[in-house]
Chain A
Amino acid sequence: QKEVEQDPGPLSVPEGAIVSLNCTYSNSAFQYFMWYRQYSRKGPELLMYTYSSGNKEDGRFTAQVDKSSKYISLFIRDSQPSDSATYLCAMSLPGGKLIFGQGTELSVKP
C-alpha cells in the first residue's frame, strides 16, 4: 500500500464547475498537508498549506483535512481554463521530508 494515494484522473470539467480533488494516506506521522499545482513542463508550485484538521480557504480554493479519516481534499470553485494542470497532494514527515501523491490531471473546458 502506498503511503499516499491519489486518483490520477484525468478529470475533465466545464468552465465554472466545482472541482473536488482527493488524497488518502496511511501514515499517522504526517504533519503538514499541501497541494501543489504543476503546469506542463513546469515545476510544482505551492497552492495550499495546512496543518490541522478543518478547512482553509484562499480565493476560489479550499483545502480540507480530516486526520481521523486520513483524507484530504482540494475544492476549486468557479473553475477556469487557466486551472488546467496537474494537482499534486503532498504530506510532510517530521524532519521535513515530503511524500507526494501521483497527481490528478485536470482539464477545464471553455
Chain B
Amino acid sequence: EAGVAQSPRYKIIEKRQSVAFWCNPISGHATLYWYQQILGQGPKLLIQFQNNGVVDDSQLPKDRFSAERLKGVDSTLKIQPAKLEDSAVYLCASSLITGTEREKLFFGSGTQLSVL
C-alpha cells in the first residue's frame, strides 16, 4: 500500500515570498490533515479536511495560510507571504473516516521549509 506522498521535500525561500506544498493521501482515506512541526516541538494541527470540507482550521493563520482539497483527494497548502517564523516541517497525514480508525494517522515525510 502506497503511503502519504508529499512534495517538495525541501524548500528555501526568502521572507515575503510565497510557497506551496502538495499532498496525496493514502487511497481511500477521507480525512486529511496538515501539521506544522517546528524544530524541537511536536506537530501542531493547522487544518483538517473530511472529504472536501474543512473540519477544523482554528489554528491556521488565515491572513497568510490557505489550503484546499479539491475532489476530496489531493491537497495543497500555501503560505503567502512567508515570515521567518514559518520555518518548520509541514507534515501531511491521512486517516480513515470511521470509528476508532479515525485517530490512527498516517504521515508523509514532510516538507522542510526554511525562510531566510
- Determine whether A42 belongs to the interface, using a CB cutoff of 8 Å to chain B: yes
Sorting the interface of chain B by its residue count into under 10, 10 to 19, 20 to 34 or 35 or more gives 20 to 34
Question: In the complex the two chains form, is B107's CB within 8 Å of A44's CB?
Answer: yes
Sorting the interface of chain A by its residue count into under 10, 10 to 19, 20 to 34 or 35 or more gives 20 to 34
Complex interface bits, A90-104 against B, C-beta within 8 A gives 1, otherwise 0? 101001111011110
Residues of chain B within 8 A of A100, CB atoms compared: 42-44
Question: In the complex the two chains form, is B56's CB within 8 Å of A45's CB?
Answer: no
Question: In the complex the two chains form, is B109's CB within 8 Å of A49's CB?
Answer: no
Residues of chain B within 8 A of A97, CB atoms compared: 45, 48, 56
Q: Give residues 34-62 of A contacting B (CB, 8 Å).
A: 34, 41-46, 49, 51
Q: Which residue of B lies closest to A33 (CB)?
A: B103
**Can you list 19 A-B pairs, Cβ within 8 angstroms, ordered by A?**
A6-B42, A32-B103, A34-B103, A41-B109, A43-B109, A43-B110, A44-B43, A44-B105, A44-B107, A45-B107, A49-B103, A88-B42, A95-B55, A96-B55, A96-B95, A98-B45, A98-B103, A102-B40, A103-B42
Q: Which residues of A contact B (CB under 8 A)?
A: 4, 6, 8, 31-32, 34, 41-46, 49, 51, 88, 90, 92, 95-98, 100-103
Q: Which residues of B contact A (CB under 8 A)?
A: 4, 31, 40-45, 48, 55-56, 91, 93, 95, 100, 102-110, 112
